[in-house]
Chain A
Amino acid sequence: MPDFLMNLFTNYYETAAMILFGIGFTTLLTHRNLIKKIIGFNFMDAAIYLFLAAKGYIAGRLAPIIVDGNTDPSNYVNPIPTGLVLTGIVVSVSVTAFMLALTCRLYDRFHTLDIDEITHLVRKERD
């Protein structure tokens, strides 16, 4: 097996995260339904979090909760990606809620979730 394929296999968490990011982006671009677009957006979020947390993991070490006063850094995994992702998950929920609220308002106005039809109706209204 060539060398770069072996690398992809070694970094399997990162590989999965990148494929997930691509699938989320494809969902975001190809679907016309707004709710599907929002789900695709959430997939992209999750892929980035997975990548960050995978970069912080060190094999054979424990979660960064200090037990028995053992403060040797070589016992614990990297706590920084965990903190960053914790912040990101909560922010992504509030962004999702905001997007869904906008979707509700758009549905009230145009009675459809299809982004093409909404664009069409807006254009017709403007003329």
Chain B
Amino acid sequence: MRNKRFFSRLSDFVEYGSFREEEYTLSPSHKANIDTDTPENRWLTSVQHSERSAPVRLMDWLKLRGFEVFNNLYRIASVIICITLIAVLLSVVVFLPPFGSDDNPAVNEVVERYVSKTVEETGATNSVAGMISAYRGFDTLGEAHVLFVAACSVIVLLRVDPSERRRGRLVDPGMTGEDLDFEPNSDLILRKAAKLLVPLSFILGLYVILNGTTSPGGGFSGGALMGAGLILCSVAFGFGRTQRFFGDGMYHLVKTVCLASYALMMAYFIFMGANGFDDHVWLGVPGSIISGGLILPINIAVGLEVACTMYCFYALFRKGGL
């Protein structure tokens, strides 16, 4: 018994970071289920005091306390497994080449090729941008589709039909909450700060997208900045104002046009490259904004799509629709 209490106290420590005074029990609903399952439970408790053989007693005890014991054992086992995992991983780190050395096996001829030929072949001075949208463009196309599919599945899970909402007849009343008709009556400080910050974040996002070929950034980071600006706008000024320039139709239009044009550009790249044709794309002047050939339009398409997706996530979580 003392042993068991020790384990439960240990698991408390693991769970909450401190010992609790009362004995660890399950949450009330479990406890109710265990204690007041009337006829069978009463039988069990009455039988407990009569004479039985050890295995039967063990079985009864497990029936009563099995869930709890399993929980404690599970928690201890998981901590042991995690400590073992950390030990195994650290023992691998011991045999890695030293941090920051240039004879690392990851630094091979592929890296040399990418760095030395990026400007010449793609026109982008930021070799990361050149790599992710030209050399490894197929991978990035798949990633844009991952974003698209994630937004679609969140729409499927959280969308509330506007016509149903208007008629006050909801399929799932749990979904309504008070958030749907709740327009944030935000305070003065937030609105004044947002007036300053929303244009700034849009401009910074545009800058990062357009300069993606010459400086750090690109479609993903700039798109996330613009999406954050949209979210800030809807937090400070309410969804109604945001809907005036970015509604449901606008979202679908921007998203599908961007994804389709991106796929078309990549298809052109792949078709020309696979057949050994010259793809007649003007690479521009390396170092200026108009450079990098198709990387600039790809960055714009990806940036708009990421911005749409981020805002779509937030709007769906807040009010179940765009």
Interface residues of A (CB under 8 A from B): 4, 7-8, 10-15, 18-19, 21-22, 25-26, 29-31, 54-61, 63-67, 69, 71-74, 76, 78-83, 86-87, 89-91, 93-95, 97-98, 100-102, 104-105, 107-109, 111, 114, 116-117, 120
Contact = CB atoms under 8 A, between A and B. Distances in A.
Contact of A114 (B14, B27, B101, B317): B27
Contact of B143 (A25, A57, A91): A91
B98 interface: yes
Contacts of B146: 91, 94
A22 B115 contact: no
A89 B140 CA distance: 12
Interface in B152-172: 153-154, 157-158, 172
Name the interface size band of chain B.
Answer: 35 or more
Given A22-B86, A65-B127, A98-B150, A73 B112 contact: yes
Query: Nearest 4 CB-CB pairs, A to B?
Result: A94-B150, A59-B100, A22-B86, A108-B174
B99 A65 contact: no
Given A64-B115, A108-B175, 4 more contacts: A7-B98, A79-B127, A86-B220, A114-B27
Contacts of A11: 93-94, 96, 98-99
A85 B201 CA distance: 24
Nearest to B155: A101
Given A79-B115, A108-B172, A14 B157 contact: no
A13 B119 contact: no
Indicate the member of B125, B139, B214, B215 with the most A CB atoms within 10 Å. B125
B155 to A, nearest CB: 9
Nearest to B75: A30
B154 A30 contact: no
A15 B90 CA distance: 6
B58 interface: no
Contacts of B125: 65-67
A22 B80 CA distance: 11
Interface in B65-111: 71, 75, 78-79, 81-83, 85-86, 89-96, 98-102, 104, 106-107, 110-111
B119 A8 contact: no
A104 B111 contact: no
Contacts of B126: 64-66
A13 B97 CA distance: 12
A114 B145 CA distance: 32
A10 to B, nearest CB: 5
Nearest to B15: A30
Given A10-B99, A65-B216, A66-B115, A94 B86 contact: no
Contacts of B14: 30
A69 to B, nearest CB: 7
Nearest to B149: A94
B294 to A, nearest CB: 17
Nearest to B309: A94
Nearest to B102: A58
B150 A63 contact: no
Contact of B106 (A18, A55, A120): A55
Indicate the member of B14, B94, B101, B125 with the most A CB atoms within 10 Å. B94
Indicate the member of B119, B136, B158 with the most A CB atoms within 10 Å. B158
Given A30-B15, A94-B151, A14 B127 contact: no
A66 B115 CA distance: 8
Nearest to B139: A87
B123 to A, nearest CB: 11
A111 B313 CA distance: 22
B107 A58 contact: yes
Contact of A18 (B89, B116, B140, B150): B89
Contacts of A21: 85-86, 89
